[in-house]
Amino acid sequence: MLLTLIKSIITFFLIFFVVRLMGKRQIGEMQPFELVITLIIAEVACIPMNDPYIPIYYGVVPIIVLSFLQIVFSFLSEKFVSVRRFVSGRAITVIDMHGINYDNLRRLNMNVSDLIEAVRSAGYPDLGKIAYAIIETNGKICVVEKTDGGPTLLPVSVVLSGKWQEGNVAMTGLDKQSLLTLISQKGGSLKNTVYADVRQNGRAYVFPSKGECYCGDVRLSGGGW
C-alpha cells in the first residue's frame, strides 16, 4: 500500500510538470498530436500504479519521452510550415462569399446539419448573416458576420513566424515585394515579422516581433477569396 501511495505521488507531480510544459490548453483547444500524447500519457501513468510489482520507471520513462516529443513537434511546427501543416493541418473555410462550401465540408467529413449546429453553438443562428465561417485546426469554428454598408473583409495570413504562407499568398495574389517594401519602410524585415495578413481591399496589417502593429497598402492580383 505504501509503495502504491509513493508511486501515485511521484506520478502526479511528474504529470503536473509535463502538463505545465505543454502549455495551458483546454482539451477542446488541443491540436491532434497534443491530444494523442495526452491520452497516451494518461494511459502509461496508470500502469505502475495499478500493479505494485511493476517498477515506477515503466511509467516515468514513457511520460518523459512523450513530453519531449511534444516539445520537439511544437518547436518544428514553429520553424517549418510543412511540419505545422502535417501535424496540425490547416484552417478550412466552410462558408464564404459564395455560400456554403460543400467540397470543404466533405473534406472535413461534415454535413450541413453539423455545420448548422456548429454555428448555432457559436452564437450565430442565422446563416444569412454569416459572411465567412472557418473550421480552425483545433476543430473550433470561427465566424465572421456580414457588415452593413460595404463588403465584409476577411483577413488572410500571408506571413507567420517570419515565413511566407505560400498557399495564402497564391490565393490572394499578393505581390510579395509590395509587402516587403512596406515592412522595410518601417525598419523591419520578413524574419522579424511575427504575423502579417491582407484584406480584399489591398490593406495589409503587420505585427513585428518588437514594436507596434502597423498597416499599409499592398498590391493584390486576386481578391476573389
pLDDT at 222: 63
pTM exceeds cut of 0.75: no
Domains identified in the chain and CATH numbers: 2-87 (no CATH), 90-145 (3.30.240.20), 156-217 (3.30.240.20)
pLDDT at 179: 97
Give the pLDDT band of residue 225 (cuts 50, 70, 90). low
Dihedral sign (CA 85, 87, 90, 94):
positive
Helix (H, G, I), strand (E, B) or coil at 112: helix
Residue with cell 469554428: 141
pLDDT at 25 over 80: no
pLDDT at 147 over 90: no
Alpha-carbon distance of 67 to 116, in angstroms, equals: 37
**Mean pLDDT, the chain, integer:** 86
pLDDT at 223 over 60: no
pLDDT at 205: 97
Higher pLDDT, 78 or 216: 216
Tell me the mean pLDDT in the region 98-120: 92
pLDDT at 72: 87
pLDDT at 17 over 70: yes
Which ranges of 51-175 would DSSP assign to H, the alpha helix?
A: 57-79, 81-88, 102-107, 112-121, 166-172
> Which segment of 15-29, 66-80, 108-122 scores lowest on mean pLDDT?
15-29
pLDDT at 27 over 60: no
Alpha-carbon distance of 3 to 11, in angstroms, equals: 12
Give the pLDDT band of residue 89 (cuts 50, 70, 90). confident
pLDDT, tens digit (0-9, with 9 covering 90-100), for 154-191:
899 999 989 999 889 998 999 999 999 999 999 999 99
Residue type, 58: Y
Give the pLDDT band of residue 95 (cuts 50, 70, 90). very high
pLDDT at 21 over 70: yes
Alpha-carbon distance of 89 to 58, in angstroms, equals: 33
